[in-house]
């Protein structure tokens, strides 16, 4: 198979933990030809979508881990699969990329996750479709609504709808003297919509990343445990990842959502679960493959490649 990965710059990869690298390594072990593109390499011209794709060779070295051939203009439909792994933020350039990839699909390209499905699932807002599993939540840019929510629950989380890695997430208590400036900053004086959720004290036991692949849950999750004095479990914010078997509640959430999300074109999804509550649905570039594999011997990248191969039959 010829696989094209749309990724961030390769020289920025931390291959000891990078999920895209784990996918590439597994694909190479199965004899696949690997190619990489950056978001800006994709274009529409002469009624087809193409990209400047470079053949990628994995060296096995921990430092100089790859070698790339000169990029060649290639129709995206010429690849057996295109794997969209560009990290957020989900800005307008990302949206434009989904438009291009959707046009590529119309000409025969197989894209995972499907671009329309990525576009339709804001990673914060998508939980509203499954409100039976969520903590109390509001989405608004109105200061009064946010203040009323804070007054009702006393201890809440405010976060932007387009953040990643725990950036710009605030825990706010009713008596916090900085409430006004936090709301003003996050909403940009009432011009940007944000999310508020009731604070979940179970975060001390970890913000669990539950992976769904090909419409089925991976049997292990990664609990990202906040460092001392921190309310965010994100690994990018200093959290520690501990692999665990899914709890009964984790499995209930995962088994309910997995077939529904897969049917919409989402081959790989990362659910975030704190305690018994679903907090986010990650569809752009879900991670944690390597941490789970290293701690449990469950080959998550292998499960992903099995799912890709099954889609292409």
- Tell me whether residue 230 is one of the annotated catalytic residues: no
Q: Which residues contact 101 (CB under 8 A, 6 or more apart)?
A: 42, 49, 76, 82, 84, 109, 111, 115
The one catalytic residue in 232, 234, 250, 291 is 232
Q: Are 99 and 115 in contact (CB under 8 A)?
A: yes
Rounded to 10 deg, the angle between the 289-296 and 300-312 helix axes is 120
b/e map 82-104, b = 16+ CB within 10 Å: bbbbbbeebeeebeebbebbbbb
The one catalytic residue in 113, 122, 234, 282 is 282
- Tell me whether residue 232 is one of the annotated catalytic residues: yes
Q: Tokens 């509640």 map to which residue?
A: 249
- Tell me whether residue 280 is one of the annotated catalytic residues: yes
- Tell me whether residue 224 is one of the annotated catalytic residues: yes
- Tell me whether residue 282 is one of the annotated catalytic residues: yes
What strand order describes the sheet that includes 155-160?
A: 137-140, 194-198, 155-160, 170-173
The one catalytic residue in 207, 250, 272, 291 is 272
The one catalytic residue in 209, 234, 250, 291 is 209
For the four alpha carbons of 108, 36, 304 and 278, in that order, the dihedral sign comes to negative
- Tell me whether residue 2 is one of the annotated catalytic residues: no
The one catalytic residue in 85, 114, 208, 224 is 224
Peptide bond just before 89 cis, omega within 30 deg: yes
Peptide bond just before 116 cis, omega within 30 deg: no
- Tell me whether residue 86 is one of the annotated catalytic residues: no
The one catalytic residue in 159, 162, 198, 250 is 159
The one catalytic residue in 85, 86, 114, 124 is 124
| Residue positions annotated with a catalytic role | 124, 159, 209, 224, 232, 272, 280, 282
């Amino acid at each position: 198979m010829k696989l094209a990965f749309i990724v961030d710059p390769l020289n920025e990869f931390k291959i000891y933990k990078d999920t895209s690298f784990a996918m590439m390594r597994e694909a190479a072990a199965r004899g696949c030809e690997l190619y990489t593109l950056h978001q800006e390499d994709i274009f529409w011209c002469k009624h087809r979508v193409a990209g400047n794709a470079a053949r990628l060779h994995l060296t096995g070295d921990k430092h100089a881990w790859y070698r790339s051939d000169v990029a060649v203009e290639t129709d995206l439909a010429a690849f057996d699969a295109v794997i969209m792994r560009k990290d957020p933020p989900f800005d307008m350039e990302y949206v434009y990329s989904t438009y291009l990839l959707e046009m590529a699909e119309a000409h025969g390209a197989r894209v995972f996750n499907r671009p329309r499905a990525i576009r339709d699932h804001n990673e914060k807002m998508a939980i509203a479709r499954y409100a039976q599993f969520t903590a109390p939540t509001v989405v608004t840019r109105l200061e009064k609504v946010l203040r009323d929510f804070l007054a009702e629950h006393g201890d809440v989380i405010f976060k932007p709808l387009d953040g990643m890695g725990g950036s710009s997430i605030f825990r706010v208590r009713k008596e916090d003297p900085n409430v006004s400036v936090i709301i003003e900053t996050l909403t940009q004086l009432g011009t940007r919509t944000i999310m508020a959720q009731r604070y979940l004290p179970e975060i001390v036991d970890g913000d669990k990343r539950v992976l769904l692949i090909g419409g089925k849950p991976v049997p292990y999750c990664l609990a990202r445990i906040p460092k001392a004095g921190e309310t965010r479990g994100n690994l990018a914010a200093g959290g520690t990842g501990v692999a665990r078997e899914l709890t009964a509640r984790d499995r209930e959430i995962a088994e309910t959502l997995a077939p529904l999300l897969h049917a919409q074109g989402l081959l790989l999804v990362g659910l975030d679960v704190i305690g018994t509550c679903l907090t986010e649905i990650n569809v752009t570039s879900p991670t944690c493959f390597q941490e789970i594999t290293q701690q449990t011997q469950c080959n998550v990248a292998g499960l992903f490649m099995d799912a890709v191969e099954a889609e292409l039959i």
